[in-house]
Amino acid sequence: MLNQIQRDRLDVVLVSPRNPLNIGAAARAMANFGFAHLTVAAPYTPHWREAKSAVGAPDVLHRAREADSFAEALAACSFVIGTGTLTHRKPEQPVISLPGLGPLLESQLAGGGRAALVFGPEKHGLTGEDLAFCHVLVEIPTDPLQPSMNLGQAVAVCLYELACRPAAPIAQPTPAPREKPALSGDLERLAALIEDTMVAARYSPAAMQRANRHDLRVILRRLSLSAHDVRRFLGLFRRVLWQIGGKGAASQPPQDPPPHES
């Protein structure tokens, strides 16, 4: 099971939830299994904190963070896990089974940073555009005749899996130190800069910009970049954009980072 430090570094993110009762049920499930950090991205109602279904979990609901967009909700996270079924989607990310969620999170959190476990809106779940922000998709197994699951129940099922998985043996070797992983917000800045460079180079016509933006988000997360990698790529593409005189390029050439910047 995830220890308390690891649980404190996991954000449960609800994307555009419609029903405050479902938000309250999700908060209650979090309290049941010892998770405290809830983020609600672009909710449909401004009164979602008043949900009466958050029995025993008013603190989780009152401390929850509201974000204007999905990208904002994930900005401080270095690993993002989408949830859903495969009945009506063909994901571009690696897919893991629900029992594999705990070991995967333990491995990712060992490298530092925060993780986000993301749930889509009640009506259709996470969209392809939402999944472009995710590193992996965890499949919640359901019957094909009824693949859709209530939002609060989906949160409870996933968190139960994380809370009840047996702890690793004490003799397990300590993982080797890894570089600090890139944050989602930094990956978004890099994607925007690459997109500006593509437009300036006339590689990305207007009709293809949305599709190219989606592909960039997916590709950057597949690469598992470190924070150091992102800084170097930002420097590279800023210089390329300046050289070709693209919109938004600096009037002076950007300064390259030191060779051994950490």
- Residue 258: the pLDDT is 53
Same domain (yes/no): 233, 143 = no
Considering the domain architecture, whether residues 152 and 203 belong to the same structural domain is answered as no
Task: Give the pLDDT confidence score for residue 124 in this predicted structure.
Answer: 86
**Are 159 and 203 in a shared domain?**
no
In a domain, 261, yes or no: no
Task: Examine the domain organization and report whether 223 and 112 are in the same domain.
Answer: no
| Pair 130, 74 in one domain | yes
Same domain, 152 and 208: no
66 in a structural domain: yes
Query: Domain residues for 40?
Result: 4-164
Instruction: Answer yes or no: is 96 within a domain.
Output: yes
Question: Are residue 237 and residue 196 in the same domain, yes or no?
Answer: yes
Question: Number of structural domains, the chain?
Answer: 2
Check whether residue 150 and residue 189 sit in a common domain: no
Q: Is there a single domain that holds both residue 153 and residue 65?
A: yes
The reply to whether 30 falls in a domain is yes
- Whether the model pTM is above 0.75: yes
CATH code assigned at 81: 3.40.1280.10
The pLDDT score that the predictor gives to residue 165 is 64
Same domain, 51 and 151: yes
Examine residue 237 and state whether it is found in any structural domain, yes or no: yes
Q: Which residue numbers in the chain have pLDDT < 70?
A: 165-178, 246-262
Nearest to 190 by CA among 233, 147, 158, 134: 233
Let me know if residue 95 belongs to a domain: yes
Residue 253 lies in a domain: no
Whether residue 58 sits in one domain with residue 141 = yes
